[in-house]
Amino acid sequence: MKNIFLSAIAMAFVLVSCNKKNKQEETTNSPMMEHDSSMVMTDGSMMDENSEKPTSAMSSNTSIDEIVANYLKLKNALANDNSKEAANSGNDLLASIGKVDMNSISKEQMKTYMDIADDLKENAEHIGENAGKLDHQREHFVLVSKDINDLIATFGTKQKLYQDFCPMADEGKGAIWISETKEIKNPYLGAKMPTCGTIKKEF
């Protein structure tokens, strides 16, 4: 009888201890107790408690408006099968890259920008030097479009833009381009298939 009584007391002690431990774990794992040093802003960007600026692309003071404007002229020239105008726009694009205020680019964004800008310059130069060679210009436009897409992702845009996709471009591998209109005007196929493509993303 004494053994049964002692066993009952021991069992009660174990149950109380387990219950107390579970409550402590619930308190520790409670979402209210978790601390995150970042907060989600109303525009979907993240802000660090120790920082006054959100970490979104739009927090940058760097303007790529002129680069984008010249890219869009290039895109429209290719869509119209106008190789000469594409060459002129390629040269304008090349010139606008050199006008970006390097002092406005943060240290965190500098390496990304330099990588994009170097590649963009090379391909814009190829397009500018090859008037009359639409196929060659379009090959380099594939890479230019990727670079412009990355620039917009890094620094943001003040105007509404669309990322379009053509599954037949780049020898059937598919390629993107950036457009200022919802209407599809394919710069890779021109008059052959002007409406080939879909909108994949909106900036």
Q: For 92-106, what is each residue's pLDDT tens digit?
A: 999 999 898 888 888
Question: What secondary structure does DSSP assign to 1-59, as a single string?
Answer: -HHHHHHHHHHHHHHHHHHHHHHHHHHHH-TTT---SEEE-TTS-EEETT-SS--SGGG
Task: With a cut of 60, say whether residue 90 has pLDDT above it.
Answer: yes
pLDDT bin (cut points 50, 70, 90) of residue 119 is very high
Of 149, 144, 184, 148, whose CA–CA distance to 168 is shortest?
184
Cβ count near 35 (within 10 Å): 5
Of 140, 153, 157, whose CA–CA distance to 109 is shortest?
153
Task: With a cut of 60, say whether residue 5 has pLDDT above it.
Answer: no
Q: Quick check: is 8 in a domain? A: no
What CA–CA distances, in Å, run from 80 to 74, 83, 93, 150, 183?
10, 9, 18, 25, 14
Q: Quick check: is 46 in a domain? A: no
Instruction: Report how far residue 104's alpha carbon sits from residue 110's, in angstroms, rounded to the nearest whole number.
Output: 10
pLDDT bin (cut points 50, 70, 90) of residue 17 is very low
Instruction: Report how far residue 181's alpha carbon sits from residue 65's, in angstroms, rounded to the nearest whole number.
Output: 16
Q: Quick check: is 41 in a domain? A: no
Instruction: Report how far residue 188's alpha carbon sits from residue 19's, in angstroms, rounded to the nearest whole number.
Output: 68
Total domains in the chain come to 1
Can you read off the two tokens belonging to residue 185?
A: 């005007």
Q: Quick check: is 36 in a domain? A: no
Give the dihedral sign, CA 79/82/88/94: positive
Q: Which domain holds residue 118?
A: 63-202
Q: What is the pLDDT of residue 63?
A: 80
What CA–CA distances, in Å, run from 132 to 16, 78, 84, 88?
86, 11, 6, 12
Q: Quick check: is 32 in a domain? A: no
The distance between the two most distant Cα atoms of the chain, rounded to a whole number of Å, is 105
Q: Quick check: is 27 in a domain? A: no
Q: Which residue has the higher pLDDT, 198 or 21?
A: 198
Contact 191, 81 (CB under 8 A): yes
Q: Quick check: is 6 in a domain? A: no
Contact 142, 174 (CB under 8 A): no
Mean per-residue pLDDT, 128-150:
97
Q: 164 in helix, strand or coil?
A: strand
What CA–CA distances, in Å, run from 45 to 40, 94, 162?
6, 31, 20
Task: Please write the tens of the pLDDT for every residue from 71-86.
Answer: 999 999 999 999 999 9
Q: What is the pLDDT of residue 77?
A: 98
Q: Quick check: is 57 in a domain? A: no
